[in-house]
Structure 1
Protein backbone atom coordinates (compact mmCIF):
# COMPACT_ATOMS: atom_id res chain seq x y z
CA UNK A 1 0.00 0.00 0.00
CA UNK A 2 1.39 3.36 -1.05
CA UNK A 3 1.96 5.96 1.62
CA UNK A 4 0.81 9.54 1.13
CA UNK A 5 2.57 12.68 2.32
CA UNK A 6 0.86 14.64 5.06
CA UNK A 7 -1.06 17.79 4.19
CA UNK A 8 1.63 20.48 4.42
CA UNK A 9 -0.93 23.12 5.43
CA UNK A 10 -1.48 21.13 8.65
CA UNK A 11 1.94 19.61 9.34
CA UNK A 12 4.00 22.72 8.44
CA UNK A 13 7.16 20.99 7.12
CA UNK A 14 8.64 24.39 6.22
CA UNK A 15 8.69 25.07 9.97
CA UNK A 16 10.16 21.69 10.88
CA UNK A 17 6.95 19.64 10.83
CA UNK A 18 6.85 16.14 9.34
CA UNK A 19 6.05 15.25 5.73
CA UNK A 20 5.04 11.68 6.61
CA UNK A 21 3.22 9.91 9.45
CA UNK A 22 4.94 8.90 12.68
CA UNK A 23 4.59 5.19 11.84
CA UNK A 24 6.28 5.77 8.48
CA UNK A 25 9.11 7.72 10.08
CA UNK A 26 9.64 5.05 12.75
CA UNK A 27 9.75 2.26 10.17
CA UNK A 28 12.22 4.22 8.05
CA UNK A 29 14.36 4.92 11.12
CA UNK A 30 14.48 1.22 12.01
CA UNK A 31 15.19 0.40 8.36
CA UNK A 32 18.05 2.91 8.04
CA UNK A 33 19.68 1.68 11.24
CA UNK A 34 19.31 -1.95 10.17
CA UNK A 35 20.80 -1.31 6.72
CA UNK A 36 23.64 0.77 8.15
CA UNK A 37 24.66 -1.83 10.74
CA UNK A 38 23.96 -5.07 8.90
CA UNK A 39 24.10 -4.46 5.14
CA UNK A 40 25.76 -1.23 3.99
CA UNK A 41 29.24 -2.68 4.38
CA UNK A 42 28.53 -6.08 2.78
CA UNK A 43 30.36 -7.21 -0.37
CA UNK A 44 28.51 -8.32 -3.51
CA UNK A 45 28.49 -12.07 -2.64
CA UNK A 46 26.33 -11.39 0.44
CA UNK A 47 23.34 -10.68 -1.80
CA UNK A 48 21.16 -13.32 -0.06
CA UNK A 49 21.62 -11.54 3.28
CA UNK A 50 20.68 -8.14 1.83
CA UNK A 51 17.67 -9.71 0.09
CA UNK A 52 16.57 -11.20 3.40
CA UNK A 53 16.72 -7.81 5.15
CA UNK A 54 14.90 -6.01 2.36
CA UNK A 55 12.13 -8.61 2.32
CA UNK A 56 11.76 -8.45 6.12
CA UNK A 57 11.07 -4.73 5.71
CA UNK A 58 8.51 -5.27 2.94
CA UNK A 59 10.41 -5.13 -0.37
CA UNK A 60 9.21 -7.40 -3.15
CA UNK A 61 12.16 -9.04 -4.89
CA UNK A 62 12.14 -11.43 -7.83
CA UNK A 63 14.52 -14.36 -8.22
CA UNK A 64 18.13 -13.17 -8.32
CA UNK A 65 17.28 -9.49 -7.78
CA UNK A 66 19.99 -7.56 -5.96
CA UNK A 67 20.48 -4.29 -4.09
CA UNK A 68 24.16 -3.60 -3.43
CA UNK A 69 25.24 -2.64 0.08
CA UNK A 70 26.11 0.97 -0.72
CA UNK A 71 22.72 1.59 -2.39
CA UNK A 72 20.13 3.50 -0.36
CA UNK A 73 16.47 2.51 -0.36
CA UNK A 74 14.25 5.11 1.34
CA UNK A 75 11.19 2.88 2.00
CA UNK A 76 11.46 -0.89 1.33
CA UNK A 77 7.69 -1.59 0.99
CA UNK A 78 7.72 0.63 -2.12
CA UNK A 79 10.53 -1.35 -3.81
CA UNK A 80 9.53 -3.96 -6.39
CA UNK A 81 12.36 -5.65 -8.30
CA UNK A 82 11.74 -8.19 -11.05
CA UNK A 83 13.88 -11.27 -11.58
CA UNK A 84 17.60 -10.40 -11.82
CA UNK A 85 16.96 -6.63 -11.52
CA UNK A 86 19.81 -4.73 -9.86
CA UNK A 87 20.32 -1.49 -7.93
CA UNK A 88 24.10 -1.07 -8.17
CA UNK A 89 26.59 0.65 -5.87
CA UNK A 90 25.67 4.08 -4.52
CA UNK A 91 22.23 4.16 -6.17
CA UNK A 92 19.76 6.43 -4.40
CA UNK A 93 16.27 4.93 -4.51
CA UNK A 94 14.16 7.76 -3.07
CA UNK A 95 10.95 5.76 -3.27
CA UNK A 96 8.37 7.91 -1.52
CA UNK A 97 6.04 6.30 -4.08
CA UNK A 98 6.46 2.77 -5.48
CA UNK A 99 9.41 2.10 -7.76
CA UNK A 100 9.15 -0.98 -9.99
CA UNK A 101 12.02 -2.50 -11.97
CA UNK A 102 11.18 -5.16 -14.52
CA UNK A 103 13.16 -8.37 -15.05
CA UNK A 104 16.82 -7.81 -15.97
CA UNK A 105 16.59 -4.03 -15.44
CA UNK A 106 19.80 -2.41 -14.24
CA UNK A 107 20.28 0.86 -12.39
CA UNK A 108 24.02 1.59 -12.46
CA UNK A 109 26.25 3.15 -9.83
CA UNK A 110 25.42 6.60 -8.57
CA UNK A 111 22.07 6.83 -10.37
CA UNK A 112 19.17 8.54 -8.61
CA UNK A 113 15.54 7.40 -8.76
CA UNK A 114 13.35 10.13 -7.22
CA UNK A 115 9.62 9.47 -6.80
CA UNK A 116 8.80 12.75 -5.06
CA UNK A 117 8.78 16.48 -5.70
CA UNK A 118 7.07 19.61 -4.43
CA UNK A 119 4.17 21.55 -5.88
CA UNK A 120 5.87 24.88 -6.61
CA UNK A 121 2.47 26.58 -6.98
CA UNK A 122 1.41 25.54 -3.48
CA UNK A 123 1.74 28.24 -0.82
CA UNK A 124 2.85 25.50 1.59
CA UNK A 125 5.21 23.82 -0.96
CA UNK A 126 3.19 20.56 -0.75
CA UNK A 127 5.18 17.36 -1.25
CA UNK A 128 3.77 15.17 -4.03
CA UNK A 129 4.72 11.64 -5.00
CA UNK A 130 4.42 9.65 -8.23
CA UNK A 131 5.58 6.06 -8.93
CA UNK A 132 8.45 5.19 -11.27
CA UNK A 133 8.40 2.16 -13.55
CA UNK A 134 11.52 0.85 -15.28
CA UNK A 135 10.80 -1.81 -17.87
CA UNK A 136 12.42 -5.19 -18.43
CA UNK A 137 15.98 -5.08 -19.77
CA UNK A 138 16.13 -1.28 -19.37
CA UNK A 139 19.39 0.32 -18.25
CA UNK A 140 19.74 3.50 -16.20
CA UNK A 141 23.44 4.30 -16.63
CA UNK A 142 25.87 5.72 -14.05
CA UNK A 143 24.90 9.02 -12.47
CA UNK A 144 21.58 9.34 -14.34
CA UNK A 145 18.46 10.87 -12.75
CA UNK A 146 14.89 9.59 -13.16
CA UNK A 147 12.17 11.89 -11.87
CA UNK A 148 8.72 11.29 -10.38
CA UNK A 149 6.12 9.54 -12.51
CA UNK A 150 8.53 8.44 -15.24
CA UNK A 151 7.92 5.23 -17.16
CA UNK A 152 11.06 3.82 -18.78
CA UNK A 153 10.05 1.46 -21.57
CA UNK A 154 11.33 -2.07 -22.02
CA UNK A 155 14.94 -2.15 -23.18
CA UNK A 156 15.36 1.64 -23.05
CA UNK A 157 18.71 3.15 -22.05
CA UNK A 158 19.18 6.41 -20.14
CA UNK A 159 22.83 7.36 -20.67
CA UNK A 160 25.36 8.34 -18.04
CA UNK A 161 24.49 11.56 -16.18
CA UNK A 162 21.32 12.02 -18.26
CA UNK A 163 18.16 13.44 -16.68
CA UNK A 164 14.56 12.56 -17.47
CA UNK A 165 11.21 13.73 -16.19
CA UNK A 166 9.37 12.29 -19.20
CA UNK A 167 8.61 8.76 -20.39
CA UNK A 168 11.29 6.91 -22.37
CA UNK A 169 10.06 4.83 -25.29
CA UNK A 170 10.87 1.10 -25.42
CA UNK A 171 14.29 0.31 -26.91
CA UNK A 172 15.23 3.98 -27.23
CA UNK A 173 18.66 5.27 -26.23
CA UNK A 174 18.57 8.65 -24.48
CA UNK A 175 21.29 11.10 -23.45
CA UNK A 176 21.61 14.62 -22.09
CA UNK A 177 19.77 17.01 -19.79
CA UNK A 178 16.93 16.94 -20.57
CA UNK A 179 17.31 13.48 -22.06
CA UNK A 180 16.76 13.27 -25.82
CA UNK A 181 16.40 10.13 -27.91
CA UNK A 182 19.61 9.64 -29.92
CA UNK A 183 19.07 6.21 -31.44
CA UNK A 184 17.34 2.86 -31.19
CA UNK A 185 18.82 0.02 -29.16
CA UNK A 186 19.12 -3.18 -31.16
CA UNK A 187 20.30 -6.37 -29.46
CA UNK A 188 22.71 -8.61 -31.37
CA UNK A 189 21.36 -12.07 -32.12
Structure 2
Protein backbone atom coordinates (compact mmCIF):
# COMPACT_ATOMS: atom_id res chain seq x y z
CA UNK A 1 0.00 0.00 0.00
CA UNK A 2 2.84 2.38 0.82
CA UNK A 3 4.59 1.72 -2.51
CA UNK A 4 1.32 2.17 -4.36
CA UNK A 5 0.40 5.40 -2.58
CA UNK A 6 3.85 6.95 -2.64
CA UNK A 7 5.07 5.91 -6.11
CA UNK A 8 2.83 3.82 -8.39
CA UNK A 9 -0.24 6.08 -8.43
CA UNK A 10 1.67 9.37 -8.75
CA UNK A 11 1.65 11.35 -11.99
CA UNK A 12 5.44 11.69 -12.03
CA UNK A 13 6.07 7.92 -12.05
CA UNK A 14 6.74 6.85 -15.66
CA UNK A 15 4.52 4.01 -16.96
CA UNK A 16 7.52 1.71 -17.51
CA UNK A 17 8.60 2.06 -13.89
CA UNK A 18 4.99 1.66 -12.74
CA UNK A 19 4.74 -1.63 -14.68
CA UNK A 20 8.06 -2.86 -13.27
CA UNK A 21 6.98 -2.10 -9.69
CA UNK A 22 3.71 -3.97 -10.24
CA UNK A 23 5.69 -6.92 -11.67
CA UNK A 24 7.90 -6.89 -8.56
CA UNK A 25 4.72 -7.34 -6.50
CA UNK A 26 3.58 -10.30 -8.64
CA UNK A 27 1.53 -8.76 -11.45
CA UNK A 28 1.95 -10.35 -14.87
CA UNK A 29 2.22 -7.37 -17.22
CA UNK A 30 2.94 -7.75 -20.94
CA UNK A 31 5.14 -5.64 -23.20
CA UNK A 32 4.14 -2.10 -24.12
CA UNK A 33 1.49 -1.82 -21.40
CA UNK A 34 0.60 1.73 -20.32
CA UNK A 35 -0.85 1.95 -16.84
CA UNK A 36 -1.59 5.62 -16.26
CA UNK A 37 -1.27 7.52 -13.00
CA UNK A 38 -3.96 7.29 -10.36
CA UNK A 39 -4.71 3.63 -11.13
CA UNK A 40 -5.42 1.63 -7.96
CA UNK A 41 -4.75 -2.09 -7.96
CA UNK A 42 -5.76 -3.89 -4.78
CA UNK A 43 -3.63 -7.04 -5.08
CA UNK A 44 -1.01 -6.90 -7.89
CA UNK A 45 -0.34 -10.65 -7.68
CA UNK A 46 -3.89 -11.27 -8.91
CA UNK A 47 -3.53 -9.09 -12.03
CA UNK A 48 -2.61 -10.17 -15.57
CA UNK A 49 -2.41 -7.62 -18.42
CA UNK A 50 -1.63 -8.62 -22.03
CA UNK A 51 0.72 -6.85 -24.43
CA UNK A 52 0.04 -3.30 -25.59
CA UNK A 53 -2.95 -2.67 -23.33
CA UNK A 54 -3.80 0.67 -21.74
CA UNK A 55 -5.35 1.37 -18.33
CA UNK A 56 -6.61 4.96 -17.93
CA UNK A 57 -6.29 7.44 -15.09
CA UNK A 58 -8.20 6.85 -11.87
CA UNK A 59 -9.20 3.29 -12.81
CA UNK A 60 -9.77 1.09 -9.76
CA UNK A 61 -9.08 -2.63 -10.03
CA UNK A 62 -10.48 -4.16 -6.85
CA UNK A 63 -9.15 -7.64 -7.51
CA UNK A 64 -9.92 -9.84 -4.53
CA UNK A 65 -10.01 -12.55 -7.21
CA UNK A 66 -7.96 -12.67 -10.43
CA UNK A 67 -8.46 -10.00 -13.08
CA UNK A 68 -7.20 -10.95 -16.54
CA UNK A 69 -6.96 -8.23 -19.18
CA UNK A 70 -6.08 -9.38 -22.69
CA UNK A 71 -3.78 -7.82 -25.29
CA UNK A 72 -4.58 -4.57 -27.11
CA UNK A 73 -7.27 -3.62 -24.57
CA UNK A 74 -8.22 -0.04 -23.77
CA UNK A 75 -9.62 0.58 -20.30
CA UNK A 76 -10.58 4.25 -20.18
CA UNK A 77 -10.57 6.69 -17.26
CA UNK A 78 -12.43 6.04 -14.01
CA UNK A 79 -13.39 2.44 -14.85
CA UNK A 80 -14.19 0.21 -11.86
CA UNK A 81 -13.39 -3.51 -12.08
CA UNK A 82 -14.75 -5.14 -8.91
CA UNK A 83 -14.34 -8.86 -8.22
CA UNK A 84 -15.86 -8.68 -4.74
CA UNK A 85 -19.30 -8.66 -3.25
CA UNK A 86 -21.14 -10.08 -0.27
CA UNK A 87 -23.91 -12.62 0.13
CA UNK A 88 -26.70 -10.41 1.45
CA UNK A 89 -28.64 -13.47 2.62
CA UNK A 90 -25.78 -14.68 4.81
CA UNK A 91 -26.05 -13.81 8.51
CA UNK A 92 -22.29 -13.16 8.50
CA UNK A 93 -22.38 -11.21 5.18
CA UNK A 94 -19.78 -13.57 3.67
CA UNK A 95 -17.78 -12.68 0.59
CA UNK A 96 -19.27 -13.67 -2.78
CA UNK A 97 -16.32 -13.04 -5.08
CA UNK A 98 -15.53 -14.10 -8.65
CA UNK A 99 -12.84 -13.25 -11.25
CA UNK A 100 -13.14 -10.84 -14.18
CA UNK A 101 -11.81 -11.47 -17.69
CA UNK A 102 -11.45 -8.89 -20.47
CA UNK A 103 -10.75 -10.34 -23.93
CA UNK A 104 -8.22 -9.13 -26.49
CA UNK A 105 -9.07 -5.92 -28.33
CA UNK A 106 -11.88 -4.88 -26.00
CA UNK A 107 -12.55 -1.24 -25.11
CA UNK A 108 -14.13 -0.34 -21.79
CA UNK A 109 -15.11 3.34 -21.94
CA UNK A 110 -14.98 5.96 -19.19
CA UNK A 111 -16.67 5.28 -15.84
CA UNK A 112 -17.97 1.84 -16.79
CA UNK A 113 -18.35 -0.68 -13.97
CA UNK A 114 -17.56 -4.37 -14.44
CA UNK A 115 -18.74 -6.57 -11.57
CA UNK A 116 -17.60 -9.93 -10.25
CA UNK A 117 -17.87 -12.95 -12.49
CA UNK A 118 -18.10 -10.86 -15.66
CA UNK A 119 -16.30 -11.72 -18.86
CA UNK A 120 -15.93 -9.22 -21.67
CA UNK A 121 -15.53 -10.93 -25.04
CA UNK A 122 -12.77 -10.06 -27.48
CA UNK A 123 -13.29 -6.94 -29.60
CA UNK A 124 -16.26 -5.82 -27.51
CA UNK A 125 -17.07 -2.23 -26.63
CA UNK A 126 -18.47 -1.34 -23.22
CA UNK A 127 -19.91 2.18 -23.39
CA UNK A 128 -19.31 4.99 -20.93
CA UNK A 129 -21.07 4.47 -17.57
CA UNK A 130 -22.29 0.97 -18.54
CA UNK A 131 -22.81 -1.59 -15.78
CA UNK A 132 -21.79 -5.15 -16.68
CA UNK A 133 -22.86 -8.05 -14.48
CA UNK A 134 -22.19 -11.14 -16.60
CA UNK A 135 -20.92 -12.43 -19.91
CA UNK A 136 -20.56 -10.14 -22.93
CA UNK A 137 -20.24 -11.98 -26.22
CA UNK A 138 -17.21 -11.26 -28.46
CA UNK A 139 -17.76 -8.29 -30.77
CA UNK A 140 -20.67 -6.91 -28.74
CA UNK A 141 -21.44 -3.26 -28.08
CA UNK A 142 -22.96 -2.61 -24.65
CA UNK A 143 -24.07 0.97 -24.06
CA UNK A 144 -24.59 2.75 -20.78
CA UNK A 145 -27.84 4.47 -19.82
CA UNK A 146 -29.13 7.10 -22.23
CA UNK A 147 -30.60 10.46 -21.33
CA UNK A 148 -34.37 10.77 -21.60
CA UNK A 149 -35.86 12.44 -24.66
CA UNK A 150 -36.97 15.36 -22.50
CA UNK A 151 -33.45 15.94 -21.23
CA UNK A 152 -32.04 15.68 -24.75
CA UNK A 153 -34.45 18.37 -26.04
CA UNK A 154 -33.95 20.59 -23.01
CA UNK A 155 -30.17 20.74 -23.27
CA UNK A 156 -29.51 20.92 -27.01
CA UNK A 157 -26.81 23.34 -28.03
TM-score normalised by the chain length of structure 1: 0.74
Q: In proportion to residue count, which structure has more helix?
A: 1
Deviation at 1:117?
0.5
Which of 8, 11, 21 is residue 42 of structure 1 equivalent to?
11
Q: Which residue of 2 aligns with 1:137?
A: 105
Q: Which residue of 1 aligns with 2:92?
A: 124
Q: Which residue of 2 aligns with 1:160?
A: 128
Q: Counterparts of 1:51 and 1:176 in 2: how far apart (Å)?
A: 30
TM-score normalised by the chain length of structure 2: 0.88
Q: Which residue of 1 aligns with 2:81?
A: 113
CA displacement, residues 98-118 of structure 1 (integer Å, 9 cap, x when unaligned): 000100111110010000110
Deviation at 1:43?
4.2
Gaps of 5+ in 2: 146-157
Q: Which residue of 1 aligns with 2:30?
A: 62
Q: Counterparts of 1:113 and 1:86 in 2: how far apart (Å)?
A: 14
Deviation at 1:66?
2.3
Gaps of 5+ in 1: 1-31, 178-189
Q: Counterparts of 1:42 and 1:136 in 2: how far apart (Å)?
A: 27
Which aligned runs of 4 or more in structure 1 are off by greater than 2 angstroms? Answer: none
Q: How many residues align?
A: 145
RMSD: 1.2
Which of 23, 44, 63 is residue 95 of structure 1 equivalent to?
63
Q: Counterparts of 2:143 and 2:43 in 1: how far apart (Å)?
A: 29
Q: Which residue of 2 aligns with 1:146?
A: 114
Q: Which residue of 1 aligns with 2:149?
A: none
Q: 1:7-46 to 2 correspondence within 5 Å? A: 32-43=1-12, 46=14
